[in-house]
Structure 1
Amino acid sequence: MDWKLKGSTQRTESPMLQGQEGGAEDTEADELSESFQLLQIDVACECQERETLPTGGTPWSSKNVQRKQRHWEKIIAARKSKRKQEKERKKANRAENPGVCTQHSKRFLKALTKEKLLEARHSGPRLCIDLSMTDHMSKKEMSRLAGQIRRLYGSNKRADRPFWICLTGFTAASPLYEECLRMNDGFSSYQLDITEEDCFSLFPLESLVYLTPDSEHALEDVDLNKVYVLGGLVDESIQKKVTFQKAQEHSVKTARLPIQEYMVRRPNGKNYHSEILAINQVFDILSTYFDTHNWPKALKKGVSPGKGYVLQSPDE
C-alpha cells in the first residue's frame, strides 16, 4: 500500500524520540529571568528621578524605587517557594503512584505526534485533497479553504489513528498556497505530501474513491487499500456534480457519506437540508468512523445542526 508519490515531498525523517527536556530547572530560570527583567524595567523608569549626594557623589534611589524593589523581591521569593512545593508534591505523588505516567514536555509530545503522523504514511489510511479546481475561486473562498485545511490537519494531529494526507494539484506559486502560508502558522512544515500532480496520475485509478454527495453509493467502510479523495471546494463556489463528473471522466469509483442511511431531515423554517460539507467536516466523520467503526457517532460529530439533519431515533 506504500505507493511512491511522484513529485511529492516528505517533510522530515522520523525523529528519535527524546526524553523529557526543558525540565523544571530551565522553567524556573526562565521565570526568574522574566521577573528580574520586569524589575529592571520598573527601576529604569525611576532612573531619571535619581539624585546625587553633594558630598561623595554616590547615586541614591528614591523611596518609590526601593519600595518596588522590596515588592518584587517578595514576589520572586513567593514564586520560588511555590515551585519548590509543587516539585515536592509531584515527587510524593510519583512515589505513591509509580504506575502513573508522568507529564511529558511539549517537545516530547511534539516529537511523538510527528512520529505518529510519519508512521501513517506507511500504514495509515490515505486522504487526498484535490486542489485542481481553485482557479476560479475568489480570495474569500481561498481563505475559507485555507482555514478548512488548517482545521483538517489539526484534527489529524489529535487523532489516535491519523490519516496520511496528500494535497494534489497544488502549486507553490498559486494564490491558495500563499493564503495557506499567510493563515496557517507552520504550514511549510506540515507533515503531509504536496504535489502539483493530480490525484488521477499520482495513484492507481482502481485505488481511488472520490467522495461526493452526488454519488449513488453510500460509503460502508474505510479501506486501508483505498485512497479517499475530497474536492477542494467551498460553499460559495460549489457547482452541482463537479466532483462527480470529474470522477466519471477518469472512471473512478465514487461514494457519499451515509447521511441518508443514518439521519433524517429535521423540519426548519427555511426548509433547508444539505449534504454538502466542508472538507474538515468530512474528515472528522471519516476519522471518527475509522477509530470507532460507528457511523451514527461519526456523523453526529461532522454534520452540524445547520445542515438540517439529525440522527434517526431507535424506533425509526
Structure 2
Amino acid sequence: MDWKWEGSAQKTESRAPQEHEIALDSPGEDGVSESFQLLQIDVGCERWEQEALPTGSATWCSKNVQRKQRHWEKIVAAKKSKRKQEKERRKANRVENPGIYPQHSKRFLRSLIKERLLEAKHSGPRLCIDLSMTNHMSKKELSRLAGQIRRLYGSNKKADRPFWICLTGFTTDSPLYEECLRMNDGFSSYLLDITEEDCFSLFPLETLVYLTPDSEHELNVDLDTVYILGGLVDESIQKKVTLQKAQEHSVKTARLPIQEYMVKCQNGKNYHSVILTINQVFDILSTYFETQNWPEALKKGVSSRKGYVLQNSVE
C-alpha cells in the first residue's frame, strides 16, 4: 500500500511537467510550438493595447511619443480657444448691432444668396471671364487660376449687389475644368454660366469692355456694360495679350484707375506692378458698385505688396 501510494504521488507530480513538455517541445511539432508561443505574445500585446496607460507614463511611452502628444494637445486646445473667441465675437456683434447681424439659420442664408444671384442674372451687372487662353498653361498655373475662380465666386456670394458671372471659352473636358472640380467643393453647382462660346459672340460688341492694365482708357463703371477679365495667371502673362485680343474684335478696353488714386511706395525689392489676379479685380469692381468710391475700392483689391498705396496714406 505504501509503495503504491508513493508511486502514485510521484506519477502525479511528474505529470504536469511532462504535459508541458509535450505541448511545447514534443518531437515533430516544432511548428505548433512556435505558433503557441506567438499566440501568447499576440494575446499579451492586445491586452496591453486595450489597457489605458497613465498620463505621462515614462515606462510605456518614449520621449518622442510624449513630445508629439503634447504638441498635438496644444494644437487642439488652440483651435478650441480660437473657435470660442470667434463665437463670442460674433455674439457680441449681434448684441451691439442687431440690425446688421440678424440671427438667421444657414438654410435661410443659403436661400437668400441664391435669390440674390438669380436676381443678378436678370438685372445685375455682368462679368465674363475669358478662359480661351488656358491651352498652354501649366498645371500649377491652372491650379492657381482655379483657386482665383473660387475666391471670385465666394466674394460675389457675399456682395450686396452681386454680378452675374459667365465663364466663356470653357469646355467641360478641359484640364482647367477638371482642376476646378478637384480644388473647388461644389463647383458643379455654382450659380453661374459656363459656355464653350467666345465672349465676343455672346453679347453685342458695343456693350463689351475688356479690362486690361495696358489700356489707355480709365474705367467708367455702369450697369449696361459687360466686363471681361482675361483668365491668365502671373506666370503665364505676356505683355499686351488681352489688349491685342480686344483690338482684334474691335472691343473697347479700360484699366483700373490705379495711377490716378495710388502712388508707388518704396520697398526692399523695388517692385511695382499693376497686374492683378481676376479675384482682386473683381473685389475692386464689386466694392465700387456698392460704394461708388475708387480709393476705397482700390484699397480692397490692390495690396501693398504690389508696390502701390493710396495717395492720402503717403500724405
TM-score by length of 1: 0.67
Q: 1:104 to 1:205 in 2, by over 3 A?
A: same
Q: Which residue of 2 aligns with 1:306?
A: 305
The aligned amino acid for 1:136 is H
The aligned amino acid for 2:243 is F
2:280 aligned with 1:281: yes
Choose between structure 1 and 2: higher helix proportion: 2
Q: Secondary structure of 2:148's match? A: helix
Report 1 or 2 for greater relative contact order, CA contacts < 8 Å, sequence distance ≥ 6.
1
Q: Secondary structure of 2:239's match? A: coil
Distance (whole Å) between structure 2 residues aligned to residue 101 and residue 271 of structure 1: 43
Q: Which residue of 2 aligns with 1:129?
A: 129
Q: Which residue of 1 aligns with 2:142?
A: 142
Q: Secondary structure of 1:254's match? A: strand
Distance (whole Å) between structure 2 residues aligned to residue 121 and residue 294 of structure 1: 24
Q: Secondary structure of 1:141's match? A: helix
The aligned amino acid for 2:121 is R
Q: Which residue of 2 aligns with 1:175?
A: 175
Distance (whole Å) between structure 2 residues aligned to residue 268 and residue 104 of structure 1: 45
Q: Which residue of 1 aligns with 2:227?
A: 228
The aligned amino acid for 1:307 is K
Give the RMSD, CA atoms, in angstroms.
2.4
Q: 1:314 to 1:249 in 2, by over 3 A?
A: same
Q: Which residue of 1 aligns with 2:152?
A: 152
Deviation at 1:99, TM superposition (A): 8.9
2:204 aligned with 1:215: no
Q: Which residue of 1 aligns with 2:186?
A: 186
Distance (whole Å) between structure 1 residues aligned to residue 291 and residue 101 of structure 2: 25
Q: 1:236 to 1:315 in 2, by over 3 A?
A: closer
Distance (whole Å) between structure 2 residues aligned to residue 100 and residue 115 of structure 1: 19
Distance (whole Å) between structure 2 residues aligned to residue 269 and residue 144 of structure 1: 26
Unaligned 5+ residue runs, structure 1? Answer: 1-47, 50-93
Q: 1:293 to 1:102 in 2, by over 3 A?
A: closer
Misfit runs of 4+, over 6 Å: 98-101
2:108 aligned with 1:120: no
Q: Which residue of 2 aligns with 1:19?
A: none
Q: 1:115 to 1:242 in 2, by over 3 A?
A: same
- Greater gyration radius: 2
Q: 1:314 to 1:182 in 2, by over 3 A?
A: closer
Q: Secondary structure of 2:312's match? A: coil
Unaligned 5+ residue runs, structure 2? Answer: 1-49, 52-94
Query: Once the two structures are aligned, what percentage of the paired residues are identical?
Result: 84
Distance (whole Å) between structure 2 residues aligned to residue 196 and residue 276 of structure 1: 26
Q: 1:204 to 1:269 in 2, by over 3 A?
A: same
Count residues with an aligned counterpart. Answer: 224
